[in-house]
Structure 1
Amino acid sequence: MRIDLNSDSGESFGSWSMGDDATMMQIVSSANIACGYHAGDPSVMRSTIAAAVENKVAIGAHVAYPDLAGFGRRFIDMTATELIDAVIYQIGALQAVASLAGGTVSYVKPHGGLYNAIVHHEAQAQAVATALAELNRASGTNLSVLCLPNSEIERRAQDAGVQVFYEAFADRGYTPSGTLVSRREAGAVIHDPEQVAARVVKMALEKTVTAVDGSEVGLNAHSVCVHGDTPGAVEIARQVRAALEKEGVEIAAFAG
């Protein structure tokens, strides 16, 4: 049995620091690297990619709305053309920097507000799927998308010929319907490393997660996100990996 561990990475900006990317790259198997729209800058992007390549971690483009002030967590009502071009622009920047370090961008994971919107927003889901399909056709790449199962982006990406992988979240609360609890509500984020590790083991072995109301929700994930920006993120990631390996679960990238 195998599963991927991914982390949102490269989210520092200028003199402002977020997360311990260098250490996290020694724990995870995939890194979703910010492309400058919600966080990150060219120098942060380059150093984060270098750390990923050094540790043989798969590189993903963490694309977002143009929203530095809101950390990309707010919905922006972009037109289809604007969003297609914004996604292509961000991936292209990451691809250029990755090539200098001998790395390759193998997948895309939308961030924050965009990630949540394309679960149900048909036009924006189509725009993201179109951007990936256009890039794959034009450059001969095989960019896949990492997303929630049973989502609009899943359906649109598959229709566009883009490979889809499913994601679960180690430290986020789930509703009985299998969606994430809003960050504005109680139980949205779990901070206890032992509790988080036990949840991920259950995700990997039993393909389920306990929702906030105590019910069991089916969950078939290729990758589990261990957030890099939460307090104690590195310790949580370490305990998650150790717990999985103790149960004989191999940690390996889903793409790349």
Structure 2
Amino acid sequence: MKQIDINCDLGEGFGLYTIGQDEELLSYISSANIACGFHAGDPHIMNKTVAFAKQKGVSVGAHPGFYDLHGFGRRPFHLSADEIIDIMLYQLGALKAFCTKHEVPLVHVKPHGALYNIAAKEPYVAKAIVSAVKQFDPTLIVYGLANSELIQACVEENIPYAIEAFIDRTYQDDGSLTPRQLEGSTLHSIDECIQQALSIVLKQKVTTITGNSIPLEVDTLCIHGDHQGSVDLARALREELATHNVIVRSLEVSI
């Protein structure tokens, strides 16, 4: 039987502001990427989100990004390799503290937003991220795009990795995500997202924004928790995968 991990970015509120429906989403996903305080999140939210994930039996991962609360981590910053290593270690350490408190393992790392996108194409950024993970805990699984520099850096450093696909984002012919500033970068209907997910999981293919079909074999699917309707999408995805006998399972036990 086929199996797939479903991950979601959670804990992305800050102070008095709440983003997403984290508790509901945790009923439908297998891995949680928890914001570490730089693009979103704060100590209270991190603590609460780790506790909720433990209650639901969902694997915990770190979701570090650029220090950019105003831009939600989606603005590019030019940092040196040493600076990237430092911000990674800082955020990994913060989330690990709450994992220790709640006696759950920290399983994976998924860079957020602009840091994720830059690491897909810029070798020195990808290598800095992997270096930080290797220094912190070389057993952590790094999530990244197929054929990206981040995955290549993991291969070179013998760090476990998971290839990720986005069910609510469109793809370009080279396998990269369509930039958010371009029209058509996001799929808006649940049906469109489900059909893209099924194509990826069952056929290992995705249709690009130009209509071409390209190969895409992945380990994990991402649902964005900050979107309206994300709970309905997650529920529909689980139901549809079940009808095709696809098991949803964390990568904690499969990589």
Q: How does 1:1-256 map to 2 (within 5 A)?
A: 1-136=2-137, 142-255=139-252
Corresponding residue pairs, total: 252
Q: CA deviation at 1:199?
A: 1.4
Q: CA deviation at 1:153?
A: 1.1
Query: Which amino acid is the alignment partner of residue 157 of structure 2?
Result: A
Secondary structure of 2:120's partner?
A: coil
TM-score, normalized by length of structure 2?
Answer: 0.97
Q: CA deviation at 1:85?
A: 1.1
The runs of 4+ residues in structure 1 deviating greater than 4 Å are none
1:133, 1:161 within 8 Å by CA — same for their partners in 2?
no
The superposition leaves residues 64-123 of structure 1 with CA deviations (integer Å, 9 ceiling, x where unpaired) of 011111100011111111110110110111011111112111110000000000111121
Using the alignment, how far apart are the partners of 1:20 and 1:109 within structure 2?
20
The superposition leaves residues 29-64 of structure 1 with CA deviations (integer Å, 9 ceiling, x where unpaired) of 000000000000000001111111111101110010
Q: CA deviation at 1:255?
A: 2.5
Give unmatched runs, 5+ long, in structure 2.
none
Secondary structure of 1:39's partner?
A: coil
Identity of aligned residues (%): 37
TM-score, normalized by length of structure 1?
Answer: 0.96
Using the alignment, how far apart are the partners of 1:154 and 1:121 within structure 2?
12
Give unmatched runs, 5+ long, in structure 1.
none
Secondary structure of 1:142's partner?
A: coil
CA-based RMSD: 1.0
Query: Which amino acid is the alignment partner of residue 110 of structure 2?
Result: K
Using the alignment, how far apart are the partners of 1:155 and 1:200 within structure 2?
24
